[in-house]
Amino acid sequence: MHKLFLITMALFTMGATIKLTPKSTETFACESCEDPAVIKRTIHSKEDAYMNDNSAKYRTDLKKWGTRSGVMHVAFPETKKKNCDPSTDAVFYATDEGVMEISDCGSSKRPLSRKRNLIKDQKQKEGFKKYQKHLHDEFDVMPITVKNHTTDIRNVCLWGGNSEKPITDPLFIENAEKIDVLVGTHPQQVVLNPANDLLYVANQLSDSVSVVARDGTVIATIPLTENAMPGTVSPVALAVNTNPGYFYGIVYVIGSVNNTMYHIGLNHKVVNANRTGKRPTEIRFDDETNELVIKNIVSKNTTRINAETQAQTETPWDIQDQFRLVDNDSTSKIAKVTTQLNLLTIFNVSKSPTVTINDEYHEEREDFKFSPGMLKHLKIVASGERRVNALQLLQKSIAGKEICKTLSLGNYQSAQSFQNVSEVFDVDGSMLDGQNSWCFKIGALQTITFILYYKKLEMYNLLPEKASLAYGVQMSKGVPKRVPKNPFKSIL
């Protein structure tokens, strides 16, 4: 044991190493694989065979779908309908070149997709053009444009001039507007001058008067002194001469520090001045006496100045009713001042129409009351996507009986385009006079144009039988119709 230990120590001392060799193992490799550790398997399925082998069943189930890039083949055998009728199963899609009809059904009698024109053949298309030309050649043409200026759907009624009914209710709406205007320092009072419809503001600490328009525009700033020291005049109150006979529109402003009343002309300049009592604080114009009445709080009297002669009198306060405050309710509804912020706030209330119509309509409406017309055809062109769904024709007889006929305009969409146009043929024979009217709904901010093809009538006994029914009386059949019947009524 001792020898074995010595031998072992000697080996470690010499740096020798002992290497152990494991048992040999077998390795597996796949000659056809890039990675020997991966075994490649080929998977076969019925779906692959169905598509890759181009089987007869696949060709039968194949559908063709048109795209911008070409024809795309699509097959869905699992969704094929057993009992399928292409005439009822078809779906129509609008394209740039026309209408495409697509059906999931397979049929040898009709193709799965084809272009379809609403006017079916060239003969009908040419006939429609001839009919339009006939309307322009044989009838008077009148466009009526109705515009909705609001964001609400509104009811509109046209014609019926004898009833004096407005085209819509309400015809106008009020719009409130508030405008803030920066004026002089420490404004005290504002008055409205009816002579020029301008606002005058007394600026106490800047010794000036601001002239401001109702829209907030500062027209002028009128200085009352050349002294650079602020507050030497201290304007605190104003009055306006409202007497049309004597200096109409002159504005009077009093300075509470220098005891002076200034006359401001319509040219926005100081044209005259008068002395007052001590510390004037209020002023008004007396329409009955044509005098300026000024209240002086230090001298405790009232100064009266004649606007025409400039004659001046002083009256003590012990006489009653020497000074009556001005009723400023009318001005306060129009404007007010905020002294701390040096602001003038203007309140404007304007009226704007809800629905407007071209001026020619009003002239024709009055004319039809005395010289009726008979309508042949009506074309309706509407802006936006919202269509005029229905048009009500209200007819009144002489006895006052009202008959309402409603036309569903969805049946009269244009045969020539996808635009929001309706060709209405069933108005043939309708009267344009003071008794009959049309009612419809117009969309928010929408514009609708009615193009009327009509003829004026000179005598009622020439009315066709169809129009005579509107008057509730039996008339002769009148002259025969010279206009051919609409050949497209059955398809439009």
pLDDT, one tens digit for every residue, the chain (492 residues): 444 444 444 444 444 433 344 444 444 444 444 444 444 444 445 555 545 556 666 666 665 555 555 555 555 444 444 455 555 555 555 554 555 555 555 544 444 444 444 445 566 667 778 888 889 899 999 999 999 999 999 999 999 888 878 899 999 998 889 999 999 999 999 999 999 999 999 999 999 999 999 999 999 999 999 887 888 999 999 999 999 888 999 999 999 999 999 999 999 999 999 999 999 999 999 988 999 999 999 999 999 999 999 999 998 886 555 555 444 456 778 999 999 999 999 999 889 999 999 999 999 999 998 889 999 999 999 988 888 889 999 887 767 778 888 888 776 665 455 568 888 888 998 889 888 899 999 999 999 999 999 998 865 445 555 554 544 444 444 444 444 444 444 443
| Residue 141 tokens, joined | 């043409």
Q: What is the domain partition of the chain in residue ranges?
A: 49-116, 129-171+354-471, 175-350
Instruction: Return the pLDDT at 245.
Output: 81
* Location of structure tokens 């025969």: 480
Architecture, CATH, for domain 129-171+354-471? Sandwich (2.60)
**DSSP line for 256-280:** TTTTEEEEE-TTSSEEEEEE-SSSE
Looking at residue 11, the DSSP 8-state letter turns out to be H
Query: Using only C-alpha atoms, what is the Rg of the chain?
Result: 47
170 cis-preceded (ω within 30 degrees of 0): yes
Looking at residue 232, the DSSP 8-state letter turns out to be S
Task: From 365, 359, 335, select the one nearest 347 (Cα to Cα).
Answer: 335
C-alpha count within 13 angstroms, C-beta hemisphere, residue 99: 13
Instruction: Return the pLDDT at 119.
Output: 45
Ramachandran assignment for 191, one of left (phi > 0), alpha (psi -120 to 50 degrees), beta (any other): beta
- 175-350, what's its fold? Methylamine Dehydrogenase; Chain H (2.130.10)
Say if residues 439 and 389 touch (Cβ distance below 8 Å).
no
Cβ density class 193-220: b for 16+ within 10 Å, e for less? bebeebbbbbbbbbbbbbbbebebeeee
Question: CA–CA separation, 396 vs 372, rounded Å?
Answer: 14
Q: How far is CA 238 from CA 194, 209, 232, 270, in A?
A: 14, 10, 17, 14
Instruction: Return the pLDDT at 69.
Output: 56
Question: CA–CA separation, 306 vs 309, rounded Å?
Answer: 6
Say if residues 128 and 415 touch (Cβ distance below 8 Å).
yes
Say if residues 272 and 253 touch (Cβ distance below 8 Å).
no
| Residue 46 tokens, joined | 């019925």
Q: How far is CA 382 from CA 211, 317, 412, 421, 448, in A?
A: 47, 73, 13, 7, 4
Question: CA–CA separation, 300 vs 223, rounded Å?
Answer: 28
Residues contacting residue 470 through CB under 8 Å, at least 6 positions apart: 395, 397, 403, 430, 431, 435, 436
263, with CB counted inside 10 A (0-12, 13-18, 19+), is buried
Instruction: Return the pLDDT at 387.
Output: 81
Residues contacting residue 213 through CB under 8 Å, at least 6 positions apart: 197, 198, 199, 219
CA angle 106, 108, 110 (to 5 degrees): 85
* Location of structure tokens 């926005």: 268
Q: Give the chain's count of helices (H) and strands (E).
A: 8, 30
Say if residues 181 and 203 touch (Cβ distance below 8 Å).
no
C-alpha count within 13 angstroms, C-beta hemisphere, residue 55: 12
- Beta-strand (E) ranges in 183-217? 187-193, 198-203, 208-212
Question: CA–CA separation, 385 vs 89, rounded Å?
Answer: 27
Residues contacting residue 64 through CB under 8 Å, at least 6 positions apart: 71, 72, 73, 74, 112, 113
Output the pTM of the full model: 0.54
Residues contacting residue 453 through CB under 8 Å, at least 6 positions apart: 135, 136, 139, 140, 141, 375, 376, 377, 378, 379
With DSSP H G I counted as helix, E B as strand and the rest as coil, what are the percentages for the chain, rounded to 5? 15, 40, 45
